[in-house]
Amino acid sequence: MPLTEFIAFSLFAWIGSFTPGPNVAIAATTGVNHGLRAALPQVMGVPLGFVLMIWVIGLGGASLLSGHPYLVLFMKIAGNGYLLVLAWRLCFSASLSDSKTVHPLSVQQAAAFQMVNPKAWMMVVATTSTYAIGQTAFFSRMGWMSVGFALPCGLSILAWAWMGDKLRHWLLIGRRLRTFNIVMGVSLAMTAVWMCTL
């Protein structure tokens, strides 16, 4: 991959990974409600799911999706529906004792969540179709993209979970935790609604 393309891809991967979306909302919420250690499986699972998606799309998934618009529609409805369920649970989680309604994700769950994460699909389809599919040195490009997504994804989840963990004690005062959970739930719901319009 030429240096200019690699820089453009890397910027997209880093910015896309750290900006708000379902993964970072879940990471921050897990950090607040369960602590940093509970979010560590997500730190490993999200990059794993992203890398799997890169290879699935790169090795033919893009053709499958472009030829079956109803499959794309189903995936969009399922993914955004799941985000709305998570948002609902978060909004009604008023205290740490209620946080059992939103369990920390295991490595496998965090990886599988990417399959219904609309933001993940948008990022992976956009990058593989731009930087890998139909390009020379396909497997080399796919390898670079795998590393280029895995690193910022993992660091982003870790950073957001760490921030959530650091806010944990401050949020225990009064109704701050309830307000935080409502804000995060509403942000997830808004993400789902926004993704429906794409």
Terminal Cα distance for the chain, rounded: 29
Residue 79 lies in a domain: no
pTM of the shown model? 0.77
How far is 83 from 26, CA to CA, in rounded Å?
10
Res. 98: pLDDT tops 60: no
pLDDT digits (tens, 9 = 90+) for 129-152: 777 777 778 888 888 889 999 999
The residues, ordered by sequence, that sit 6+ positions from 17 with a Cβ below 8 Å of its Cβ are: 149, 152, 153, 155, 156
Residue 182 lies in a domain: no
Q: Give CA angle at 72 (69, 77), nearest 5°.
A: 125
Residue 152 lies in a domain: yes
Dihedral sign for Cα 110, 113, 115, 118, please: negative
Domain count of the chain? 1
pLDDT digits (tens, 9 = 90+) for 15-67: 888 887 889 888 998 898 889 999 999 999 999 999 999 898 888 765 665 66
Residue 8 lies in a domain: yes
Between 110 and 72, where is the model more confident?
A: 110
Residue 78 lies in a domain: no
Residue 96 confidence (pLDDT)? 55
Domain that holds residue 150: 3-68+103-175
Residue 108 lies in a domain: yes
Res. 99: pLDDT tops 70: no
pLDDT digits (tens, 9 = 90+) for 148-159: 999 999 999 999
Residue 83 lies in a domain: no
Structure tokens at 125: 């389809």
Contacts made by residues 34-40, CB under 8 angstroms, sequence distance 24+: 34/99, 34/104, 35/165, 35/168, 36/161, 36/162, 36/164, 36/165, 38/104, 39/104, 39/157, 39/158, 39/161, 39/164, 39/165, 40/161
Residue type, 122: M
Residue 112 lies in a domain: yes
Res. 124: pLDDT tops 60: yes
